[in-house]
Amino acid sequence: MKVFLDSVGCRLNQSEIETMARQFRAAGHEIVAEAGEAELSVVNTCSVTAAAAADSRSKIRSAARSGTGEVVATGCWATLVPQHALDLPGVTRVVANDRKDFLVPEILNLVPATFDLEPINREPLPGLRQRTRAFIKVQDGCDNACTFCVTTIARGPGRSRPIPDVLADIRSALDGGTKEVVLTGVHLGSWGREWDTHLSELVKAILSETDTPRLRLSSLEPWDLSPEFFRLWESPRLMPHLHLPLQSGSDTVLKRMLRKTTRESFRELVAAAHAVMPEAALTTDVIAGFPGETEAEFAATLEFVREVGFAGGHVFTYSSRQGTPAARMKNPLPKEIRKHRNAVLRETFAEMGETYRSQFVGRTLPVLWEACAQVNDQGWQMEGLTGNYIRVTATAPGPRWNVVDEVIMLSSTGEGLRGEIRAGGI
Ligand code: SF4
C-alpha cells in the first residue's frame, strides 16, 4: 500500500509521523510524497491555536480532494472534536492521541504489532514533510494546567519513554545518516518524573551511549530546570540553544496563566545558563493579548523581554481554546489590540535577533545544511543551521545537504547570516 503522512504544528507531531513511516515500511508498505499517489493518508492534527485547527482541517480536505483512497485523522484537533473530524470528506477513521502509538498496527490489523522496527532506519519523509534533523519523541502529555493551554487537555497526563526505547530510535536515525537529533515532547522537562529521575539523566545516557554529533533540546518549561542542569553543556555535542517559553513578562499575567514561574525566577535561570554558556541562544514563546492584559502588563512584558535580550521568539496572538479556563475569563481583548501587541512584540524580537546574530559576523561556526537549490551551472544555494540556532545561507559548487561545514559568517540577511564555507570544507 502507498501511504502519505502529513502533520500540522509541533515537532512532536513531526516525530510521530516519522515513527509511523518506519512502522509502515517495516510492514512492507511505501511512503509517498503526495496524497494523490496514496491509498491511505494520515494527518496528525494540531489545536494549539484556532489557526492551527483550521490548517488541520484544510490539510484533511486537500488530501481527500487529491483522490487519496481514505484519510485517517489523528492528533490534538481530531482528539478534541472526533465527530467533527469524522464528518470531513474522505475521513474513514479518527485515532485519538492516547491510541496514536497503535495507529499503524490497528490500521494494518497487525495487533499486537508483528513488524520489527529494528532493521528500519529513520529516513527523512518524502515531500514537504522532509526534515534533515531527526525529532525524537521522549515524552508525551502534561500534568500542568496553564489556563490558556488546550494541549494538556488533548494529550492527557505526562508520561515518559524509557531510555532504551529512546536510544533505539536515535540509533535508527544515526544509522539513517542523521547528523542532528532533537529531543521533543509536550513537557520535555518533566521526562523521568514518574521514575524520580530527570531529563539530565536521559541527556547523559544519549551523550555516553551514542555518538550523536549534534544533540538539541526542544522547548523546556523554566520551572523544570536548576542551575546544575546547565552543566550538561560542557559537552560540545549539546547545541548551545535553550528555548524557554516565557508566555508573559508580567507577574500578574503569569499568575492568571497559572505559570509556575515569575520574572525573578526566570531572570535567575537565564543568569545561571549564561554563566555556563555566555553566547548560547535563548529563544522563547510569548502570548500577546491574554484576557484582561492591561497596557501596564503588556509594557511589563515588553520591558522584561528586552531585559533578557532573547536571540529570538515566537509570538502567539491569544486564541481562545474551548475547554480552557482562560476561555471563560473576563475582559477578553478585542482582536485588533491582540494583533497590535503581537506586531510590537515581533518587531522587538526581530531587533534583538539582529543584535544577537551580529556578534557572530567574522566568526567561524559549524553549520548543518538542511536545504540546497541549484542556482546555475556553477552554483548551489545552501541553507542551514548553526548550533546556536542561527539560520545561515551560503553558496557551494555542489549540493551539501546534511553535511556539517565550518562557515565564516560574513553579513546579516535580516533573518539570519550569510556565510562562506571554509576552503577545507569544499
Ligand atoms: S506546561 Fe503548560 S503550556 Fe506546556 S503543555 Fe503543559 S499546560 Fe500546556
The alpha carbon of 423 and the centre of ligand 1 are apart by a number of angstroms equal to 46
* Residue 281 belongs to some domain of the structure: no
pTM of the predicted model as reported, rounded to 2 decimal places: 0.94
How many residues make up the chain in this entry? Answer: 426
**Cβ of 221 below 6 Å from ligand 1:** yes
Q: Could you tell which of 49, 149, 247, 261 is best to mutate to test the pocket of ligand 1, judged by most ligand atoms within 8 Å of the CB?
A: 149
CA-based end-to-end distance of the chain: 41
Spatial separation of the C-alpha atoms in residues 426 and 424, rounded to whole Å: 6
Per-residue CA distances from 349 to 272, 319, 358 (Å): 22, 20, 14
Last residue of a domain, one of 125, 152, 169: 125
Last residue of a domain, one of 106, 125, 144: 125
* Cα–Cα–Cα angle for 243, 248, 253, rounded to 5 degrees: 145
Residue 292, judged by CB atoms within 10 A of its CB (0-12, 13-18, 19+), counts as middle
Q: Could you tell which of 47, 142, 247 is best to mutate to test the pocket of ligand 1, judged by most ligand atoms within 8 Å of the CB?
A: 142
How many distinct structural domains can be found in the chain? 2
Per-residue pLDDT of the chain (426 residues; tens, 9 = 90+): 999 999 999 999 999 999 999 999 999 999 999 999 999 999 999 999 999 999 999 999 999 999 999 999 999 999 999 999 999 999 999 999 999 999 999 999 886 666 677 677 888 899 877 888 999 999 999 999 999 999 999 999 999 999 999 999 999 999 999 999 999 999 999 999 999 999 999 999 999 999 999 999 999 999 999 999 999 999 999 999 999 999 999 999 999 999 999 999 999 999 999 999 999 999 999 999 999 999 999 999 999 999 999 999 999 999 999 999 999 999 999 999 999 999 999 999 999 999 999 999 999 999 999 999 999 887 999 999 999 999 999 999 999 999 999 999 999 999 999 999 987 665
The alpha carbon of 34 and the centre of ligand 1 are apart by a number of angstroms equal to 33
**CATH code for the domain of 30:** 3.40.50.12160
**Cβ of 188 below 6 Å from ligand 1:** no
Phi, psi of 88, rounded to the nearest 5 degrees: -75, 150
Residue 127 region, left (φ>0) first, then alpha (ψ -120 to 50), else beta? left
* Residue 174 belongs to some domain of the structure: no
The alpha carbon of 46 and the centre of ligand 1 are apart by a number of angstroms equal to 14
- Name the helix (H) or strand (E) containing 205: helix 199-209
- The C-alpha cell 515513527 sits at 19
Range of the domain at 405: 364-424
Nearest to 72 by CA among 107, 27, 34, 108: 107
The alpha carbon of 148 and the centre of ligand 1 are apart by a number of angstroms equal to 9
The alpha carbon of 318 and the centre of ligand 1 are apart by a number of angstroms equal to 15
Last residue of a domain, one of 80, 97, 125: 125
